[in-house]
Amino acid sequence: MHKPGTLHGVSLGPGDPGLITRRAWALLERRDAVWTYPVRSLRKESYALDIALRAGLALPPQHQALLFPMTHDVEKLARHWLKAAETVRDLLATGQDVLFLVEGDASTYASFCYLARVLRELDAGAQIDIVPGVTSFNAACARLQMPLSEQDDTIAIVPAAYGIAAVEKMLDDFDTLVLMKVKPLLDDLIDLLARRGLLPHSRFIEKAGSPVERIVHNVAELKGTKVNYLSLLLVKNPNRERGEMIRGCRKKTTTELEEENQA
């Protein structure tokens, strides 16, 4: 009887093959593991697979696309997640390790999260390994030479689909907003940022690090245009009102202050 294989969520970074970690690279060089990778439809190429191939890695003898459609239909999503998890479960049962290729980081808004969850529902004892990677927003900050955070900055990382009202509320509480998947709401977001005087402090980046990367500093010029699904907005909020900060690791107690005064 075969010892079951392990499912590895292999993070590849957002597009630049140079950001693939050594641990991910070592797994991808194996010829005895099965590569699986997400596609949005059977007519579309896999962006994750493209990153690996542009890195010069060769497809192993066994590889398979797994369908993760772009839809808000909960029942349809559940069907495809289940089918993908069943496919992986059956491969693992043969003793083969399965690598699931992930653009960006496997723990951050990734289809791997759904795959791993449903696989565990099918098989509570499934062996799952996650290889962390560079996120799109970290890569974007590096490309833009724009710090994600400084000192005591607060950060919100949120899909823009939560809506304009939610984003506006966050502007009162956070110094940096990373707005993911901005495509459906881009025009409304531009209007909001203009009203709040934040357009000069906003940057747009699409497919960070890839050969078709696009960076836009004047975000207003994007209004009325189409952008890729793999795009984000980095918004700095320099005039946010902050409450009183407690400097240091923790606030000193009255007893500690009295002891310092007596010393």
> What does the alpha-carbon distance between residue 252 and residue 250 come to, in Å, rounded to a whole number?
6
Q: Mean pLDDT of successive 10-residue segments in the chain (263 residues)?
A: 91 96 98 95 90 96 91 86 96 97 95 96 97 96 93 89 90 94 93 96 94 96 93 92 63 56 61
* Structure confidence at residue 6 (pLDDT): 98
Give the start-to-end residue ranges of the domains of the chain: 6-134, 137-236
**46, 55, 60, 100, 121 from 64: Cα distances, Å:** 11, 19, 10, 10, 22
**Exposed, middle or buried by CB within 10 Å (0-12, 13-18, 19+), for 41?**
exposed
pLDDT tens digit sequence for 37-71: 999 887 889 999 999 999 999 999 999 999 998 77
* Structure confidence at residue 258 (pLDDT): 61
**Exposed, middle or buried by CB within 10 Å (0-12, 13-18, 19+), for 115?**
buried
> What does the alpha-carbon distance between residue 54 and residue 161 come to, in Å, rounded to a whole number?
31
* Structure confidence at residue 236 (pLDDT): 95
For the domain covering 137-236, report its CATH number: 3.30.950.10
Helix 111-122 to helix 74-93 angle, to the nearest 10 degrees? 60
For the domain covering 6-134, report its CATH number: 3.40.1010.10
Pseudo-torsion of CA 250, 256, 262, 263, nearest 10°? -60
Whole-prediction pTM: 0.87
Residue with tokens 């890695």, as numbered in its chain: 57
Query: Contact at 8 Å (CB) between 90 and 67?
Result: no
Q: Encoding tokens for residue 180?
A: 């993911």
Same fold, 6-134 and 137-236: no
